[in-house]
Amino acid sequence: MLVDSVKIKVQGGKGGDGAVSFRREKYLPKGGPDGGDGGRGGKVIIEADNKVQTLAELYKHPHQKAENGESGGRGNKKGKDGQDLIIKVPVGTMVEDTDKSLILADLVKNGQQLVVAKGGRGGVGNFRFKSSTQRKPGFALKGEPGEEKRLGLNLKLIADVGLVGYVNTGKSTLLAQISSARPRIADYPFTTLTPHLGVVKVNEIKSLVVVDTPGLIEGAHQGAGLGNKFLKHLERTEVILHLVDGANIKKENPLYYIRIINQELKRFSEELAKKPQIIAVNKSDLPEAKENFDLLREALVSEEYSGPIFFLSALTGEGVKDLVDYLSSFLDKVKVKEEKEEKELVLVEDLAKEEAIYKFIPRFIINKKGNIYEVSGGEVERLVAITEFDNPEAVEYFQKIIKKIGLERALIKEGIKEGDEVKIRGKVFTFFPK
């Protein structure tokens, strides 16, 4: 089953907690602090892999989390970093941050990677807090939580040729004739229930890829029939191969079905409608198709269609080789598309870099709601997340940093009074100026 669109939640691993430890050696029963730092949590990475054909696995498992970092240990031992989680997706997958309605990347090359959730940094052990004024710090910092995101993954198949046509024109039969693909074929509408990719071997060293989408009917761009669910798979193709049922042509209006399809392509996407198009009339093995071919060709010429018109039988193979040879020659002449800019993905590794990146963003924002002052901002929220509030020394350190970054002063400026409440990251504090 082809699953081409999923929504998932990803979470980087939590950083390991810093350790509180003191050296205990022979003849040195009250040595200094030696608690090590926690390890970094693992990242979540999405990687395009041409061996993966569908998003079905993510549909079954929409929650993806990287490994947590390990806590630090005694002897200034650093905890082990969490293992990164690499999520394999098909080449052609577009990644969107659904909370921000922001496209993060379009993974169109095999091996292309995108970091979608950073792991939390490991907490600092008490060894780091030793100073001339604080000989035996009895606290450490907890590891940061990993980054969380809600993502939408949308697959658009990558193929050279997009095969379109009204229902029952014989598209699946043609794909089976020219490639190793084996779509289900039957004599009723919507035989093709999912897109099929077929690799067409032109010669010993050359091949092209064709995508067959379900037959289109009027209103397809709005979802009629199997409509717009699969039209997106044509957007990456270089050329549209428009297959017409030669045995089912309205004599009073020979272009009736062609116009319906082209109208649906245009309504779905202006860019899709502008793609080069080749007309192929199927079922040349039937007498009525032969009678209709000249009629259709004259109508196309009157519409100023200047492209080639092929007359073939997908069932018997008549005329199919000429079509494949032309497609191959046409694709050779297609101007190579300009490669899209690939933005370098930066993973922030330390606070100094983070502050440099976000130097134009306020360190915190205060919103007053009655007597409650809600404070948000990456720096203060991180500080709350890594503080062990059951430890008096850790609380003292927290208050020191809050004062240092100017939050206490800013709260007083906003009119806070003793006894009012301050809410940060869901944790409520009572304000007492020191």
- The gap from C-alpha 85 to its chain's centroid, in whole angstroms, comes to 15
Q: What are phi and psi of 253, to 5 degrees?
A: -150, 75
Identify the pLDDT of residue 354: 39
CA dihedral 377, 378, 383, 389 (to 10 degrees): 60
Helix (H, G, I), strand (E, B), or coil: what is residue 282? strand
Domain extent listing, the chain: 5-155, 161-333, 351-430
pLDDT of residue 290: 87
Tell me the Ramachandran region of residue 125: left when phi exceeds 0, alpha when psi lies from -120 to 50, beta otherwise. beta
CA-angle at 402, arms to 399 and 33, nearest 5°: 55
Rounded Cα gap, residues 40 and 123, in angstroms: 8
| Among 238, 244, 250, CA closest to 309 | 244
Provide the sign of the torsion angle of the four alpha carbons 300, 304, 306, 307, taken in this order.
Answer: negative
The sign of the torsion formed by the CA atoms of 286, 290, 295, 300 equals positive
Residue 222 is predicted with a pLDDT of 47
| CATH (residue range 5-155) | 2.70.210.12
Q: Give the count of beta carbons closer than 10 Å to the beta carbon of residue 324.
A: 19
How far, in Å, CA of 2 to CA of 285, rounded?
A: 33
Radius of gyration of the chain (CA): 32
pLDDT attached to residue 113: 93
CATH 3.30.300.350 correct for 351-430: yes
Q: For residues 345 and 358, give the distance between their C-alpha atoms in angstroms, rounded to a whole number.
A: 16
The tens place of each residue's pLDDT in the chain, 434 residues long, gives 568 889 999 999 999 999 999 987 776 666 789 999 999 999 999 999 988 888 989 999 999 999 999 999 999 999 999 999 999 999 889 999 999 999 999 898 899 999 999 999 999 999 999 888 888 899 999 999 999 999 999 988 888 999 998 888 888 889 989 887 665 544 544 444 567 778 888 887 788 888 887 766 454 444 444 445 677 888 888 999 999 999 989 888 999 999 988 888 888 888 888 899 999 999 999 999 988 998 998 898 888 788 889 999 999 999 999 999 999 999 888 754 444 344 443 333 343 443 343 334 457 899 998 889 999 988 899 999 999 999 999 999 999 998 988 999 999 999 998 889 999 988 999 988 76
| Side-by-side strand order, sheet with 421-424 | 365-369, 372-376, 421-424, 427-430
Domains 161-333 and 351-430 share a fold: no
- Terminal Cα-to-Cα distance of the chain (whole angstroms): 64
**Spatial separation of the C-alpha atoms in residues 86 and 382, rounded to whole Å:** 25
Q: Which two tokens stand for residue 344?
A: 């370098």
Return d(Cα 371, Cα 392) in angstroms, integer.
Answer: 26
- Measured CA to CA, the distance from residue 26 to residue 332 in angstroms comes to 79
Query: What homologous superfamily is domain 161-333 in, according to CATH?
Result: P-loop containing nucleotide triphosphate hydrolases (3.40.50.300)
User: Contact 72/140 with Cβ under 8 angstroms?
Assistant: yes
Distance, CA of 198 to CA of 385 (rounded, Å) = 52
Q: In the prediction, which pLDDT does 245 show?
A: 92
**Other Cβ atoms within 10 Å of 423 Cβ, number:** 15
